């Protein structure tokens, strides 16, 4: 059976790519500009061609040439344009230049005309004043010739040990005559305890140094205070970072950056449920549903950024499987007599 095809834009280290791979897709091309993300992607997906550069400089014709396809033959165009300008963790500026990168995605969508597209972004884009930006995004995508529908999905209901809400927009090319739909929740949330069960210290080392809290406290007082919190307690209300993790709850949303003034390995100030240390890269990778076999280049300094920026593989696996069965296979089925 021929595998459905996908091109991943804003591919990062390959969270989405791994999800598509697990769902039985064949990735034809990944597009990414960050050097460490590209190095990490190539380490884990050596057989997938990578366009390492600015997506604004990638034409549709060149994209199709690199992927070895013709217009209209690609099954899925995937993309997670940088979303800092929409994020509720940031200043949420409507005119943030990073918010316009979705237009480059839409340009490639228009030029490639895949059967389906998937676009992921933060929930901040559908809240308050940013909702106008979301409506403009939907309008732009529909003008490319697609029926498009967005839905807020929480990764913790799709075998990801993390409460992580994201807007997932799925579009289906109009000529296919199929309405876009999203997968239903697949199970109960997975706790941090379940996520890290059986994690070998040999896998984690040398990333579990228990003196980190003392070192961190020299730089940032409120992180030192976070180390004294009870399990699940937050230092700052409504902020994912600055809390001690709870053994029997999913991790909160993993973000890419540590608070200002912190060492790069702080892991956005989350504290282990019972030890005086931050979570290890491997613990956070499990909370993002990366397997232990997934490698990170410069894990101690860059790994958190790669994890925080990625789409949880298990979430994308659920989306990809849903698209494969309910859209692509339905489009290929002959009409009933």
CB distance 6 to 25 below 8 Å: yes
Q: At what angle do helices 15-22 and 313-323 cross, to 10 degrees?
A: 50
Q: Which two tokens stand for residue 258?
A: 């540590």
**Distances in Å between the alpha carbon of 287 and those of 116, 158, 164, 189, 253?**
28, 12, 10, 11, 9
* Number of C-beta neighbours around residue 176 at 10 A: 16
Element (DSSP H or E) covering residue 194? helix 192-196
Residue 51 CB contacts under 8 Å (≥ 6 apart), including other chains: 29, 30, 31, 32, 58, 63, 66
With CA atoms as reference, report the closest residue to 137 among 152, 154, 150. 150
Give the integer Cα–Cα distance in Å for 26 and 129.
39
User: Alpha carbon 334 to chain centroid distance?
Assistant: 35
Give the integer Cα–Cα distance in Å for 23 and 335.
26
Residue 63 annotated in active site: no
Q: At what angle do helices 299-309 and 35-44 cross, to 10 degrees?
A: 90
Question: Coil, strand, or helix at residue 103?
Answer: helix
Question: Sign (positive/negative) of CA torsion 47, 52, 55, 60?
Answer: negative
CB distance 250 to 189 below 8 Å: yes
Give the integer Cα–Cα distance in Å for 4 and 75.
6
CB distance 120 to 311 below 8 Å: yes
Which residue of the set 13, 63, 83, 287 is catalytic?
83
Active site residues: 83
């Amino acid at each position: 059976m021929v595998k459905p095809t996908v091109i991943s834009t804003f591919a990062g280290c390959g969270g989405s790519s791994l999800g598509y791979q697990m769902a039985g897709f064949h990735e034809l091309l990944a597009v990414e500009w960050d050097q460490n993300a590209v190095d990490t992607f190539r380490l884990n997906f050596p057989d997938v061609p990578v366009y390492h550069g600015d997506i604004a400089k990638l034409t549709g014709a060149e994209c199709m040439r690199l992927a070895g396809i013709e217009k209209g033959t690609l099954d899925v165009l995937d993309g997670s344009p940088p979303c800092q300008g929409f994020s509720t963790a940031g200043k949420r500026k409507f005119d943030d230049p990073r918010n316009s990168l979705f237009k480059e995605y839409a340009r490639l969508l228009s030029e490639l005309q895949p059967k389906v597209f998937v676009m992921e972004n933060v929930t901040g884009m559908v809240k308050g004043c940013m909702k106008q930006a979301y409506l403009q995004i939907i309008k732009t995508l529909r003008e490319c010739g697609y029926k498009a529908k967005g839905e807020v999905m929480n990764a913790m209901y799709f075998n990801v040990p993390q409460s992580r809400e994201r807007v997932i927009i799925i579009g289906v090319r109009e000529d296919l005559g199929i309405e876009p739909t999203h997968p239903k929740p697949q199970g109960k949330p997975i706790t941090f305890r379940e996520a890290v069960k059986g994690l070998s210290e040999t896998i984690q080392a040398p990333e579990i140094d228990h003196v980190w809290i003392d070192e961190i406290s020299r730089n940032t007082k409120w992180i030192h205070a976070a180390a004294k919190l009870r399990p699940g307690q937050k230092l700052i209300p409504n902020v994912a970072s600055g809390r001690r993790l709870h053994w029997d709850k999913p991790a909160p949303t993993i973000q890419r950056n540590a608070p200002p003034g912190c060492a790069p390995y702080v892991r956005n100030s989350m504290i282990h449920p019972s030890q005086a240390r931050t979570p290890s890269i491997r613990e956070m990778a499990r909370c993002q549903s990366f397997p232990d076999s997934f490698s990170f280049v410069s894990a101690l300094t860059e790994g958190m950024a790669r994890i925080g920026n990625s789409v949880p593989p298990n979430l994308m696996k659920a989306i990809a499987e849903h698209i494969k069965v309910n859209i692509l296979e339905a489009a290929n089925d002959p009409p009933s007599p």
